[in-house]
Each structure stands twice: as C-alpha cells, then as structure tokens.
Chains A and B, each alone.
Chain A
C-alpha cells in the first residue's frame, strides 16, 4: 500500500469481528494507520497478538506466477496429497475443497483433535447442547471440567456469564480438576466459584454423574476429589434451573472420556431440570471448515477423496497418520503463523506471511489474514452462529481463496 495512506491519520475501527479462537467476539476496537494495526479495547491477549501489525515495511509481498506454476507441478504429480492446517475462512475452505476434489487427497484441520474427541461421544449417543446466548441468560450453574477456559478463550467468562442475565438469578461456577486465574475471576465479578481439585477428572466426573443420576457411589474420594465436595456439586447441578458443562477437549487428556461423561451428566440432569453441554474449541474456523465438509461431502474433517468418492476415518485421516502415506503436504494457515508439521516429502504452504519454518517449504505462498486483510465468514464454536469478518486495511496479499483458485489448471 502507498506511503500516502500510511501517513494518514489513524482510524479507530469499532465493532471489529474476531475469528481467531472461535468465541466470536464482535466488539473489538482497533486503531488502523495505513498498514499498521493496533489493538485498542475489548481485545484479549491472543487476539491482540494476532491482530497487531507494527512493521508493515518488512511484510512479504505477493509471489510470482512461477511460484504458482511450481505449486501446480507438485500437485499434478502428487498421488496422495494431504490438505492440512485448513486455517481459512469459508471461501478459502471452498477453494481448498474444490482443489482436493480435483486432485484427490485427505482433508484435516490443525485444531481437529478436540473436535474428534467430542465426536467420540456425540456420534455414539448424541448429546444435549446449548449456545452462547442461552448460557449468557439462562445458566445459573456452570461446571468447568479441566483448565480455566480463559486460558485459551480470553474473554470466555465476560461473554458467557456477564453480570446481567435475563433469567439466571445467580451465577455459580464449579471447576472440576482445575482452577481459575485472575482474569477469569475478574470477569466473573460477583459469581460464586467452587474449585474442586481432582487428579483424575475422568473418575471424578464419572462419580459426579452417578451422584446426579442415582444412588451415590461408595467411597471417600473419586479421582482425587472428596466425595463430600462432589456431592455438594451434584446437589448444586440438580438444583440449577439451567446447568451448563464446558470443557476444552483440545487441552484435556482423555478428552473423549470427559466428553462422554459430561454428555451423560447433562442427560441425567435433563430428566428433572434443564442443562446443556457447551464444548469449547473452534480456533481458526475449524468449525466452519467442518460444517462446509459436512454439507459438501456428507462427512466431517479427516475425510479422504479418492477416485470419485470420499470416505471418512477419524483415525486414518488425521493429519499425523495421513502424512505417513502422503507424497505431498499442502498446509494452509491464514489466521496465524503456524508452521506445518514435519514431513519428508514436498510441502506447499499457503500461510501467514510471518510463518517461520524449521525447514523451508518447497513452495510458500503468503496470504492475507481473514479479518485483517480480507472479509470472510467464520463459524463460532457452537457451530450455529457464523460471523462476517471485515477487512481492516487494503490487502496486498491474496486471500486463501484467491491463492488456491490460482492453482487450478490454466485454461
């Protein structure tokens, strides 16, 4: 962009939509001066880091036609490409999917581990879930399983449990197997917080579930949590008008078992009162790309297109496993400078311009960031709401969709 513009007066942009962690905040305030972007208000530390642009002079420029030609050659000879990372908005995802349909290959997202841990529960039994606005207004008892949600989702409590609610008369947060940090406590204001230490949250949660659904199990403690404290938590959950269980499957050991037991707990609560699971996750539009695959291919992520059919296997087509049989890695990461996993074969990266590589890829096509350089659509973690990202500055780099469409055969 020209120097005249960068010399212009800074512009304060309000109501900026953020697509990074999946919480879907849309009230950020940033200052834009030419190509510089400075977070100003309502920005969590993670978003601040990913939005900030302070040294536009050193930014990578668009690559030449020859680079696209080289990428096209690699794609043409590949027999088993893996399209991974997939940190892109919906239009970017559509372009990658079309490319994968043309060349065949496996599709997976960098943040899909948590998603598939949850799917282990949801595909076996289903679950009863809820969305952000319901939590904000109905939830009077929130069960957090594992780490402080504010660690990965900076403004979680401010967004999910604000002081004002239409219906919830009070707010009680029960943390099982973790503790809340200062930021979470500040956001929660006057809410009651109970922390229940547990060295085995799966066992503690199973006991809690049993206490809610029937006669309490025998024992003084479960998974390191005192039976008495668990019984109090069970009573609070049963006494809630609307209880909600949250966990971040991406950061938990044995997350599939946590998801399964949380699902059972919420099922048991709904016999007499109302409750829902609210699984945390969804960075870099993993939910949106997953939704896109579901309506386009009928399968979620971790799906392979071979010949004229697609097939899904959550283990076989996870990035790590799929790379063992791959002869090309196409890595897409537009939201953050995340390098590709180690891979012996050729690598094409369509990524954030600041990406640092241990080994330089065969092809690197830097792309703009959705919500900074390009407008685009991303999904929130609940998979129901999607949001329009805006552009904060004029793009000098292509979007993922633009870059990927240039990889289609020259007509």
Chain B
C-alpha cells in the first residue's frame, strides 16, 4: 500500500530538513523516496508540518505501580470517564479513562492524538516484568519498551560487595536484560531502596549501604561500565540519590563528576536541582546544574517538568516516597518492598501554583529547559504522571516556545517563588525545529533506534502531521494526521483506528556461566525458579514477540 502526503513541510532535524516543502511517501509501513507512481491514498496537507511520530523516553505507562496508582486514585478514573471517539462510532473498545493514571487503551489513544507513536516505560522491575509486558500488549497505537531497574537488587549488591569481576556483573546484566525483555538499564536511588529495607532513611552518593557497605557511587559506576561494555545503546538512565531533598544539587553535581566522562542520562533532573538558599531553605540550582550539563557532553537529561493540578506520583524509590508520604493529597499512599529487587511508592499529589515549593519546582524545570543549550541532550518529559500527566505536553511546549505566555503564567504564581527564579529574565524561546529534536529526533538517537525519529527512506512510517498555529499549545494538542506503521490512526485530533504496536528490547552477548548461579539464587533465595522468572518472546504483544535490537559490545 503506497500512501503519499502532498504539500506538507517536512521537519526532520536528523536529516537537516527544517520545514522543507516536499512530499512524503511510504509503502507498507516504511518511508520511501518520493516517486511519481500512483498512490493508494493521497493526503493534501496545505503546508502543514510533517514530522516523525513523537518518542517519549520517560513516561510511566505500565507495570504494577501504575495499577496500584489506579487502585488508590479511583477519583482520577471517575473524573475522566471513557472518551467517546466519533471516528470509531459503533466500535466501543472499552477504552477506560483516567488522566493521571489512564488505562492502557486511554494511554495509547491520548498519546496518539498528540502525535506520539513510541513511549518507553522507564522503571520496570524484573519481578514485575511479565505483568508490565502483559499491560504494554494492551496499549494500542504505541510502540513501547521498558528500562529494567537494577542496582537495588540483592543479587547485584552481593556481587559488588564481594568484589566480583566486572565480567560477572556484565553477564548478570546481559542475562537480566534478556530474561525481562528490557531495552535499557535504569537505576533508581542507587542502593537506597535496598538500604531502606535495612531501615536506612537516606543514602548519599558516598554513604555505605548498612548491610552491604556498598555506596551509590559504586553501584552507579559499576553499572555504567556494564552497559558500556555490553554495548547497550541507551546510557544508564539514572534517578539519582536524594530525590526532592533541598540540597540535592550537590549530589547531582557530584554524580555528574562521578561519571568521569562516561555517558549517563539523568532523569527528571528538576527533582534533583534543589538548593537550600533563602528563608525557606529551598532554592533553584538550575543554573549551576545546567552549566555543568553544558560542560559535560557525556551527560543527557530529561526534565520531569512539574505541571499544576492533581496527579499521582509512582516510583520505585520507596525510600523517597515514604519520606514524602506526609505530603500526600488526598491523604493516602501505598508503599511496597519488592522481591529482593526494589520497591515502589505511590503518593497522590496536587501541585498548586500558589504554593511556594510547587511554583518554584515549576520554574526550576523551565529554567533547566532554557539553560541547557544542546537540544540533543535534553528531553521533554513530565515524568508522567509524577510531575504531571503527559497530556499537558502541548501546554509545556507553548511555555518553551512563547516567552510572553511563559512570563504571563509566571506572574500568576506564588509571589515569593517569583522572586526566587531567574525565569522572567530568560529570553530564549524554543524553535519548532528544537521541539522536533526534543520530542523525536534526539530520543531516537539516544535510544539507538536508527529507523525512528526521522523521515528518510527506510524509516518506520510513524508520522505526525500538525497544522501550523501561532498558538503552539493548540497546534500540538491535536495532530491533523497520525500514521502508525503507515496506518492512519488519528485524523483531526481524533483516534480513528487502533493499530497494534511492538515492544522494543535489546539483546547483548553475555557469559552464560552466570546461569547456574542464578538458578540457585532464584530457587533457594527468591523462591521462584529462574526459568519461570524469565519471559519468553512469545509472551510479548499477544504472541507476536518483541522487536530486537542486537547490541555490539566490547568498548569500555
């Protein structure tokens, strides 16, 4: 099937096309060079912007913690009932609803309406991986993938504590990536979630775990080395120590220094950029941290922007979530120690614009966006749903692109917070091209997805078309057309079809000698056999299996 998009303007930063007027053509789900051949369908775009489908590299869309959040926040579900899809009349699909924690179907549909076609779940626990994959299989219209949480599991801490050789660590990481069908490695509060199980209430970068005497720094550097040597494209995806704690700016700066030039992705950096200046002992360190990010090309970040309103925070970082449970709104929260693996904490939260801390968090996020210079190393996230639901992205894009709008918003916030931010003086406005970099070109590049995030021949025909509009929030709220694998799924901002996605996984080489040790570990200690922990390819996506990216290792 050959489809042609005529009269659009192509925005493809990967291939240095900045609103180039040309046709885009795709055949059977892949982009081809434009031809004169008869097309099965043609769409007249009238100058609309044509981009690759959006890629979100950090959004909590699946897994046990999201179901706990749904269970706890039934009010979110009730407030956002099923959306009627006029384009699909008579074919009620049981989409469910919700805003902060939408159902699997609603997640796929709402993302598609914004022009996104690929989303990564950034915190999959190995023990919960089968469940996360079952859930991802029910998300329509999106390709997915998940980062495996490591570094708080007792198996790796035991390896590190006894000084196991790096090769053995690498073998374990390689085995776990395969067993859990993961795409990258995430570390959440390195060793801290584990330390909480031994009643430690905080763990700094160089503080020893009370049981293993291993520091977060060692966990981090060991796992950075592992993914580097295994050749995993995405660097370690780090949720650092001391999330949300004033003064964690020092931890963040020390963490960047600890990489010694090796690649590292710092996720939801906003929550890790807090100083202790001022009467309230809470201040922005965005400028210091952005300067350090700018000076270290090995570092990439996503922001985790706070957006005002009701949401629910869900994180593997039980240590931090337990600390924050007093701030829960409504007043209820769930915590869980999980399977010698990690943990989870679910805390409902309402970010209020008249609240000093919340308003400053909002400003800190925007400062980071505007002060980090290289758009290829910063990504547009709200850490959905932790800073706010992903459906607020169009509003966030306008805040980045429209200085007057941003300053008008700033003027309505808590007055003390206004006095504590540089934001009003920052003149930068993101260009459309930069937004395209943040939301598709750069994520594809950092994830190693060679056939995504651009529109050159051979690319996957995941395509988003947006009508130009000076109101960038309106422009990005409703895609004019979205194609998933070449199939039309959204027209005029409404879902018109549900296409099955795939799940991206990586495979690395590893020394299989680790298997005997893992068999014994799972059987005797965990109480579940390794072969039952492991997830077969056929368990993914209703039997269709994953899309595998084979890693080439060796570098160190």
A→B interface (CB under 8 Å): 15, 17, 24, 26-27, 90, 94, 97-98, 101, 119, 122-134, 136-138, 159, 162, 164, 166-167, 241-242, 270, 273-274, 276, 291-292, 294-300, 305, 308-310, 312, 377, 379, 383-388
Q: Is A132 a contact of B332 with CB atoms below 8 Å?
A: no
Which of B64, B332, B340, B523 is in CB contact (< 8 Å) with A383? B64
Q: Which residue of B lies closest to A379 (CB)?
A: B131
Q: Given A131-B127, A242-B197, A377-B539, do A384 and B339 touch, yes or no (CB 8 Å)?
A: yes
A131 and B336 contacting across the interface, CB-CB below 8 Å = yes
Q: Known: A101-B94, A299-B77, A308-B84. Contact between A134 and B131, CB under 8 A?
A: no
Shortest beta-carbon distance from B142 to chain A in Å: 14
Query: Quick one: closest B residue to A297, CB to CB?
Result: B96
- Is the beta-carbon distance between A385 and B127 smaller than 8 angstroms? yes
In the complex, A101 Cα to B125 Cα: how many Å? 31
Q: For A134, what are the chain B residues with a Cβ–Cβ distance below 8 Å? A: 197, 337-340
Contact B527 A129 (CB under 8 A): no
Contact of B528 among A24, A242, A308 (CB under 8 A): A24
- Do A295 and B528 have beta carbons less than 8 Å apart? no
Cβ-Cβ contact count across A and B, 8 Å cutoff? 176
Asked whether A296 lies within 8 Å of B199 as measured between CB atoms, the reply is no
Name 7 extra pairs, CB < 8 A, besides A133-B527, A296-B103. Answer: A24-B528, A126-B328, A132-B528, A134-B197, A138-B197, A138-B337, A296-B138
Interface contact B337-A101, CB-CB below 8 Å: no
In the complex, what residues of A have CB within 8 A of residue B532's CB?
15, 17, 26, 387-388
Min Cβ gap A313→B in Å is 11
Contact yes or no, B82 A310, CB < 8 A: yes
A300, closest chain B residue (CB): B71
Question: B322-347 interface mask toward A, CB cutoff 8 Å, 1 = contact, 0 = none?
Answer: 10000010011111111111000010
Residues of B with C-beta under 8 A to A123:
71-72, 74, 332
Q: Is B214 an interface residue (CB 8 A)?
A: no
Chain A CB within 10 Å, residue with most, of B81, B92, B339: B339
The residue that B98 contacts in the complex, of A98, A276, A298, with Cβ under 8 A, is: A298
B64:A159 contact, CB within 8 angstroms: no
For residue B98, which residues in chain A have a CB less than 8 angstroms away from its CB?
A: 298
Known A299-B77, A383-B64, A383-B67: A132·B527 in contact at CB below 8 Å? yes
Contacts A90-B134, A295-B103, A298-B77 given; indicate if A384 touches B94 (C-beta within 8 A): no
Docked complex Cα distance between A127 and B93 (Å): 33
In residues 316-375 of chain B, which contact A (Cβ within 8 Å)?
A: 322, 328, 331-341, 346
Which residue of chain B has the shortest Cβ distance to A165 in the bound complex? B525
Contact B134 A386 (CB under 8 A): yes
Q: List 11 A-B contacts (CB under 8 A).
A: A27-B523, A122-B72, A128-B322, A133-B339, A138-B337, A167-B198, A273-B199, A291-B64, A291-B131, A299-B77, A308-B92
A272 closest partner in B (C-beta) = B199
Q: How far is the CA of A295 from the CA of B138 in the complex (A)?
A: 8
The interface of chain B, by Cβ under 8 A from chain A, is 62, 64, 66-68, 70-72, 74, 77, 81-82, 84, 92-94, 96-98, 101-106, 125, 127-128, 130-131, 134-135, 138, 154, 196-199, 211, 322, 328, 331-341, 346, 523-529, 531-532, 536, 539
- Taking a contact as CB atoms under 8 Å apart, the answer to whether B340 and A122 are in contact is no
Q: How far is the CA of A270 from the CA of B92 in the complex (A)?
A: 46
Contact assessment for B531 and A15 in the assembled complex, using a CB-CB cutoff below 8 Å: yes
Interface of chain B, main secondary structure: mixed
CB distance from B247 to the nearest CB of A (A): 24
CB pair B322–A274 under 8 Å, yes or no, is: no
Specify which chain A residues have a CB less than 8 angstroms from the CB of B524 in the assembled complex.
164
Task: List the A residue with the shortest CB-CB distance to B76.
Answer: A298
A126:B72 contact, CB within 8 angstroms: yes
A130 touches B336 (CB 8 A): yes
> Contacts A122-B334, A295-B62, A299-B77 given: A385-B528 contact, CB under 8 Å?
yes
In the complex the two chains form, what is the Cα distance from A308 to B97 in whole Å? 11
Q: In the complex, which residue of chain A has the Cβ closest to the Cβ of B64?
A: A384
- Rank and list the top 7 A-B pairs by shortest CB-CB distance, nearest first: A101-B94, A298-B77, A298-B96, A126-B332, A133-B339, A126-B334, A128-B335
Residues of B within 8 A of A387 (CB): 130, 528, 532
Residues in chain A near residue B81, CB distance under 8 A: 309
Distance in Å from the Cβ of B202 to the closest Cβ of chain A?
A: 15
